[in-house]
Structure 1
């Protein structure tokens, strides 16, 4: 299959995954966001400085005076963001799968695509979340948002590079060690890199007196949204790639059969 075919499949799978992410986020995450915003606004009122510049800017970004209303943010805005992100994620994952097919030992196109999706989820979603988990409104200082964003994406990039290196290492030692041992070597190498990097990078702790249960529910819903995105993306993309691979194999079988007649 040509990379273009993978890309088309990836974009389609990404759009579907983005819509699924919107549904999950709207149902399980948005109530936690609303709770956090209410706490933020209540805290501003109790502080006696409701017109502080930073507080006012945050309040206006969520309330009725915002340029984009909260209702729009939680519906069309959320849907647009998740669907666009899903399409980008799907396209990138599909191109990675196109490169991986035929290069991961004897794995089929379907299995290779599933491996790429699994590695992508762990390296770019799960592991970065463990180090720098998502935070709701009212958590974190506006003065450090640039630093926190840089730390997150720096660790995200490092995790991705480490995952790619681990896959290449596993592929290199595959002939000598066999599939099982090669996977263990690659996984161990990845874990060493991300654990050392995670310990070396600074920890962000700006929770303050924010309610622990609300923070837990928000982060749990964030993980659920990430998992839903990657699960749907993997299911659809693997299914489309596997279908095309089966059709190609069937055409080849018929051509070989015709050649023997």
Structure 2
């Protein structure tokens, strides 16, 4: 049955990718166009020639964006289904829909919000090309540490649940996560390469659009996958608390 859950997760991810593409096309791409226009004006003011366009802008905003979010959605949906299969029956008496929504919320915070607070998304023309490797490495370091901290916090919750109870153990795990992340974010270097003349409104709208795309992606996956799995559980029946769903 894990294989069927994987297929459902990838299906939910593909649908989420389509919805995210529509959102990004309408909300995000206009901000990218403005950022590119700013970059072109700055190059022209410096007397620098325009860089050759390897991929046309319509292709980037259309097929390129669609391909990216579809592949990302399918991969995330598949991984999400595996986490769901493991967690189902292990985190209390919560049904499939509720668990799927809860895991999507946790994943959104751990994978998107926390790394983004330290290293937010930037539009074109923001950032020194010579530091892209360092910036990428720091972002993925923050991402990996956020995931590791979340796993450690969940271990704390499990270790203290018998003594503190479910609610207090959950609070203890959350506090541990916040403390660890705070120390990590204060320890990692700050990167601020936004040009002084770059429009603040464009930067703000771009980052809101990037965050909005992630909200759409994770919300769709969490709700749709939960609905698909809940129907499967209801129709076929499963034993909870095992490493994978088992048909009765």
Q: TM-score, normalised by structure 2?
A: 0.92
CA shift at 1:10, angstroms? 0.6
Report 1 or 2 for greater relative contact order, CA contacts < 8 Å, sequence distance ≥ 6: 2
User: Superposition pairs for residues 44-193 of structure 1, below 5 Å?
Assistant: 44-48=43-47, 50-51=48-49, 56=50, 59-60=51-52, 66-193=53-180
Which residue of the partner structure matches residue 237 of structure 1?
Answer: 225
8 Å CA contact 1:102–1:109 kept in 2: the answer is no
Number of matched residues?
238
8 Å CA contact 1:97–1:116 kept in 2: the answer is yes
Task: List structure 1 segments (4+ residues) > 3 angstroms apart after TM superposition.
Answer: none
8 Å CA contact 2:97–2:223 kept in 1: the answer is no
- Unaligned segments of structure 2, at least 5 residues: 239-248
Supply the RMSD in Å over aligned alpha carbons: 1.6
Q: Does 1:28 align with 2:27?
A: yes
Which residue of the partner structure matches residue 258 of structure 1?
Answer: none
- SS of the residue 1:247 aligns to: helix
- Unaligned segments of structure 1, at least 5 residues: 61-65, 251-261
Which residue of the partner structure matches residue 41 of structure 2?
Answer: 42
CA shift at 1:67, angstroms? 2.5
Whose helix fraction is larger, Structure 1's or Structure 2's?
1
Query: In terms of Rg, which structure is larger?
Result: 1
